[in-house]
């Protein structure tokens, strides 16, 4: 068949079509496997541009060498990798690479940029013309895509340069994709090995993703991917055992924008099994729109059971202590009243009574702590006038405060809605501490009302709290001065209780303290309307 | 014909029973004691005390069971529960008792409570 007259043009059209086809094929590929994509690129460009040797070189982190990640030799049909070229051997070539532009060396042996490669590289492989295009990754030069022509020198056309540049872009995409896939793999490994169950819920509350632990929970429930199905199979209960309705579960609340952290009991209706989970759920946003929710669940059943056991034991112990103390104290009180008790016996009997009173207080503390932490504290709110309550606290403290002056500063009567007994208990603890941890001095009790709140503060001029212990001061059984010269005994319960009671009243407690100067404890209570 | 008067002390702790017997007799009362609810029911067969001081945690028959057993009986003496539970008033109300004393109690509280319900025998 005779060639058409304009055949060189036709040939270039065919070549262009073929290159477009190659690019299209490469673009369609799954590029997650970087090495695989590099192999496809070197082969494709070798054939499309009719080049003997093609390769991808990576600039090493110190930028003092390039390493061949994949090299294709057409005549052998083989790929090879691992060669390294050092910058110190080929400084001009490396500085040309550093300029991040295409190096099109038609005469590679004489081109200023590539001639230094002649003896060690070009001559060895019979290379006459070279074209290197930069490969970018994360806004930096990753390396070069090399075309090495063997045979009579050739002029690289602009089209060829453009095509090579396009292939370099495909390489960049592959690097990005590979990196993303790697990050995903790492993340998957994390999600699959953590001790928490992880779920992703869509806008309807349907579970669209779960890690293996999450899948196991779904299995245990016998299904429940959709919200309706889940509510059929699993009952959600809050910490107090109350059933949580479908629209109040953490997932639903997060869909409305809340970050929820709570402990739920899950009752798997299929088996009747009941377990406790610490559940965290958070909204996932796309701009302003919440499209899904991530829910993380940690099984805390054993932890909670042990905690409960500890507190039950505490409560039972305290209970068992009470009868013997009643007997000891009762007899002591009885004998003191007897007219025939001798002068020598009386101080002993007094000591027995005092000791049993102390025991009784400790037991009361334990009972109260275990009661509060078992959730048995029920507030009986009533209107409480604070000044009157504080005067009662002062009367209570007076016998112990023989060397202290207790001063109440209350500008006006302030009424709050509170459980008088417990609130007074809480303030007593603060005043008791102020007396016990200060030398003879004033203890000031101030009432500072504002619109919404009232702050009761108890200020002493005592030994203060060491700076390194400030953040533990409200912990149960923590005693700042334990084992020091200032150790005045006790269980380390008072501040824990005072704060718990304050919190249950919807308030807050904090303090300021300077060692050697004294401490001020603040109790803030909401000024709820009192009918 | 039942004998009448005095205070029935029901507690499984023999030392506390003895202590209460001593205290109450020193206040001038007559005291009968029982170690649990069942023994107390037996006592009630032949005697009608003015008051029952009742411990709640006891073996054989505890205080709640005892209260249920006598609840609704005609002419049952008033019951004051002795309890170490954190909220004695609520416990007493639950058991439909007439009063309560939290353990450990003060001598004065014991005397005041008992006097509300029981009269000293005339001599």
| A386 — pLDDT class (breaks 50, 70, 90) | very high
For residue A200, say if its preceding peptide bond is cis, omega within 30 degrees of 0: no
DSSP A147: E
> Across residues A187-211, what is the average pLDDT?
90
> Across residues A198-221, what is the average pLDDT?
92
Measure the CA–CA gap between B75 and B83, rounded to whole angstroms. Answer: 24
Contact B104 A333 (CB under 8 A): no
Mean pLDDT of chain A: 86
Q: What residues contact A138, with CB distance under 8 A and at least 6 apart?
A: A176
Q: What residues contact B51, with CB distance under 8 A and at least 6 apart?
A: B7, B8, B77, B78, B79, B80, B114, B117, B118
The whole-angstrom distance between A328's CA and the closest CA on chain B is 9
Measure the CA–CA gap between A47 and B105, rounded to whole angstroms. Answer: 102
Q: Out of A504-508, B14-18, B45-49, B93-97, pick the least confident.
A: B93-97
Measure the CA–CA gap between A431 and A423, rounded to whole angstroms. Answer: 13
Q: What residues contact A237, with CB distance under 8 A and at least 6 apart?
A: A243, A244, A264, A265, A266, A267
Name which of A323, A329, A368 is nearest B13 (Cβ-Cβ): A323
| A97 — pLDDT class (breaks 50, 70, 90) | confident
pLDDT at A287 over 90: no
Task: Supply the pLDDT for residue B122.
Answer: 44
The better pLDDT of the pair A190, A378 is held by A190
Q: Which residues of A touch B84 (CB under 8 A)?
A: 318-320, 322-323
> Across residues A477-492, what is the average pLDDT?
71
Q: What are the tens digits of pLDDT across the range A452-464?
A: 899 999 999 988 8
The better pLDDT of the pair A233, B2 is held by A233
Name which of A326, A356, A376 is nearest B103 (Cβ-Cβ): A326
Name which of B19, B85, B86 is nearest A330 (Cβ-Cβ): B19
> Across residues A48-59, what is the average pLDDT?
91
Q: What are the tens digits of pLDDT across the range A246-277?
A: 888 888 899 888 999 999 999 999 999 999 99
* CA nearest to B18 within chain A: A327
Q: Taking the CA of residue A98 as centre, how many other CA atoms within 13 Å lie in the half-sphere pointing to its CB?
A: 12
pLDDT at A487 over 70: no
Task: Supply the pLDDT for residue B121.
Answer: 53
| A374 — pLDDT class (breaks 50, 70, 90) | low
| Residues counted in chain A | 531
The whole-angstrom distance between A353's CA and the closest CA on chain B is 11
Contact B104 A371 (CB under 8 A): no
Measure the CA–CA gap between A240 and A312, rounded to whole angstroms. Answer: 16
Q: Which value, to the nearest 10 degrees, does the dihedral of the CA atoms of residues B32, B35, B37, B39 take?
A: -70
Task: Supply the pLDDT for residue A3.
Answer: 45
Task: Supply the pLDDT for residue B1.
Answer: 56
Contact B84 A356 (CB under 8 A): no
Q: Out of A173-187, A406-420, A440-454, B93-107, pick the least confident.
A: B93-107
For residues A434 and A465, the answer to whether their CB atoms sit within 8 Å is no
Q: Which one of A311, A318, A323, A373 would you mutate to disrupt binding with B, by most B Cβ within 10 Å of its Cβ?
A: A323
CA distances from B88 to A165, A455, B64, B78, B113 (A): 87, 32, 13, 16, 14
Q: Which residues of B touch A326 (CB under 8 A)?
A: 16, 19, 103-105
pLDDT at B119 over 70: no
How many Å is the Cα radius of gyration of chain B?
A: 13
Measure the CA–CA gap between A248 and A272, rounded to whole angstroms. Answer: 22
For residues A432 and A460, the answer to whether their CB atoms sit within 8 Å is no
> Across residues A510-519, what is the average pLDDT?
91
CA distances from A491 to A214, A368, A448, A472, A476 (A): 42, 12, 31, 14, 9
Q: What are the tens digits of pLDDT across the range A58-82?
A: 999 888 999 999 999 988 889 999 9
> Across residues A503-524, what is the average pLDDT?
92
Measure the CA–CA gap between A511 and A499, rounded to whole angstroms. Answer: 11
> Across residues A344-352, what is the average pLDDT?
86
* CA nearest to A370 within chain B: B86
Give me the residues paired with residue A443 across strands.
A406
Task: Supply the pLDDT for residue B85.
Answer: 75
| A55 — pLDDT class (breaks 50, 70, 90) | very high
Contact A360 B26 (CB under 8 A): no
How many Å is the Cα radius of gyration of chain A?
A: 40
| B123 — pLDDT class (breaks 50, 70, 90) | very low
| Residues counted in chain B | 123
Q: Which residues of A touch B (CB under 8 A)?
A: 315, 318-320, 322-327, 329-331, 333-334, 337, 356, 360, 367-368, 371, 376
pLDDT at B11 over 80: yes
pLDDT at B10 over 90: yes
Q: Out of A20-29, A95-104, A295-304, A433-442, pick the least confident.
A: A20-29
> Across residues A162-183, what is the average pLDDT?
88
For residues A85 and A63, the answer to whether their CB atoms sit within 8 Å is no
> Across residues A329-336, what is the average pLDDT?
86
The whole-angstrom distance between A456's CA and the closest CA on chain B is 27
């Amino acid at each position: 068949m005779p060639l058409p007259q304009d055949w060189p043009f036709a040939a270039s059209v065919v070549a262009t079509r073929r290159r477009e086809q190659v690019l299209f094929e490469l673009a369609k590929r799954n590029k997650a496997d970087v090495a695989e994509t590099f192999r496809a690129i070197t082969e494709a460009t070798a054939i499309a541009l009719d080049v003997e040797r093609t390769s991808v070189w990576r600039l090493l982190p110190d930028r003092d060498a390039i390493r061949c990640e994949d090299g294709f030799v057409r005549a052998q049909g083989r790929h090879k990798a691992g060669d390294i070229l050092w910058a110190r051997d080929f400084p001009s070539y490396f500085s040309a690479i550093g300029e991040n532009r295409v190096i099109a060396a038609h005469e590679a042996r004489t081109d200023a940029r590539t001639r230094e490669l002649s003896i060690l590289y070009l001559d060895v492989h019979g290379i006459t013309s070279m074209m290197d295009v930069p490969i970018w990754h994360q806004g930096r030069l990753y390396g070069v895509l090399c075309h090495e022509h063997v045979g009579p020198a050739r002029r690289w056309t602009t089209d060829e340069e453009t095509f090579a540049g396009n292939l370099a872009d495909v390489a960049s995409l592959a690097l990005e994709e590979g990196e993303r896939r790697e990050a995903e793999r790492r993340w998957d490994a994390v999600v699959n090995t953590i001790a928490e169950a992880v779920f992703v819920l869509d806008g309807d509350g349907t579970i669209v993703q779960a890690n293996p632990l999450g899948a196991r929970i779904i299995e245990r429930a016998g299904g429940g991917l959709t919200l309706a199905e889940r509510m059929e199979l699993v009952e959600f209960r809050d910490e107090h055992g109350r059933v949580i309705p479908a629209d109040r579960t953490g997932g639903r609340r997060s869909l409305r924008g809340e970050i929820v952290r709570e402990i739920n009991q899950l009752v798997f209706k299929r088996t009747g099994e009941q377990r406790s989970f610490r559940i965290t759920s958070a909204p996932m946003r796309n701009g302003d729109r919440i499209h899904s929710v991530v829910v993380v669940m940690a099984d805390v059943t054993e932890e909670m059971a042990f905690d409960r056991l500890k507190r039950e034991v505490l409560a039972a112990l305290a209970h068992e202590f009470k009868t013997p103390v009643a007997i000891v104290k009762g007899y002591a009180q009885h004998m003191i009243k007897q007219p025939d008790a001798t002068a020598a016996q009386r101080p002993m009997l007094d000591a027995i009574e005092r000791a049993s009173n102390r025991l009784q207080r400790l037991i009361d503390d334990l009972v109260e702590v275990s009661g509060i932490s078992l959730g048995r504290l029920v507030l009986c709110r009533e209107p409480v006038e604070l000044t009157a309550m504080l005067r009662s606290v002062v009367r209570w403290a007076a016998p112990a405060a023989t060397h202290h002056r207790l001063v109440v500063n209350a500008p006006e009567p302030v009424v709050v809605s509170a459980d008088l007994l417990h609130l007074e208990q809480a303030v007593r603890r603060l005043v008791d501490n102020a007396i016990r941890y200060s030398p003879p001095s004033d203890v000031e009790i101030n009432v500072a009302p504002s619109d919404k709140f009232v702050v009761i503060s108890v200020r002493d001029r005592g030994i203060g709290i060491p700076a390194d212990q400030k953040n533990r001061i409200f912990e149960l059984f923590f005693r700042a001065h334990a084992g020091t010269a200032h150790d005045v005994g006790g269980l380390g319960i008072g501040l824990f209780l005072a704060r718990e009671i304050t919190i249950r009243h919807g308030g807050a407690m904090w303090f300021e303290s300077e060692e050697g100067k004294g401490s001020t404890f603040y109790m803030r209570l909401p000024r709820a309307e009192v009918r | 014909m039942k004998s009448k008067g005095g205070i029935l002390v029901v507690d499984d702790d023999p030392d506390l029973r003895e202590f209460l017997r001593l205290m109450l007799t020193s206040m001038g009362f007559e005291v009968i004691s029982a170690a649990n609810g069942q023994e107390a029911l037996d006592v009630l067969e032949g005697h009608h005390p003015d008051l029952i001081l009742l411990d709640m945690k006891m073996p054989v028959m505890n205080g709640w069971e005892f209260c249920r057993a006598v609840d609704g009986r005609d002419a049952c003496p008033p019951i004051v529960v002795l309890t170490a539970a954190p909220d004695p008033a609520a416990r007493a109300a639950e058991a439909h008792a007439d009063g309560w004393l939290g353990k450990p109690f003060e001598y004065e509280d014991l005397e005041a409570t008992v006097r509300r319900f029981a009269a000293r025998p005339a001599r």
